[in-house]
Amino acid sequence: MSLNADQTRAVLSAYQLVMTASWPTLHPEMLERSAHWASASAETLDAELQSYLRQASDPHCCAVRIGALPARTQATIGILGMYEMLDDETGRRLFGEQSRRSRRP
């Protein structure tokens, strides 16, 4: 699927929101690069998005954390879903924290 520049900016923006909220250390260069998105070409934006996806797809982990957000231009063009692989200890700790929060009155 080929996206135009506005659509790719929307996907990058949604990706940035989910990434910042869930994995703030995943792409430290994204904050600086995002300042140039408004004037970047569709090809440049797509190359940047693909580089983030390659980095985030590194297979050297083992449990999963998930985040999702609508990708918007003038209208919603889809849902961006992200996941992160976690080590077993972190997965157990996060599961325990979430379980305790959901039991609170």
Range of the domain at 42: 5-60+67-85
Cβ atoms of residues 5 and 41 within 8 Å: yes
Q: pTM value? A: 0.60
Residue 62: what are its φ and ψ, rounded to 5°?
-145, -15
Please check whether residue 96 lies inside any domain of the structure: no
Please check whether residue 50 lies inside any domain of the structure: yes
Whole-angstrom distance, CA of residue 32 vs CA of residue 48: 12
DSSP state of 35: T
Q: What is the pLDDT along the chain (105 residues), one digit of tens a residue?
A: 578 999 999 999 988 988 887 777 888 899 999 999 999 999 999 999 999 988 887 766 446 666 667 777 777 677 777 666 667 787 778 778 877 877 766
Number of domains in the chain: 1
Tokens of 19: 């990434």
Please check whether residue 46 lies inside any domain of the structure: yes
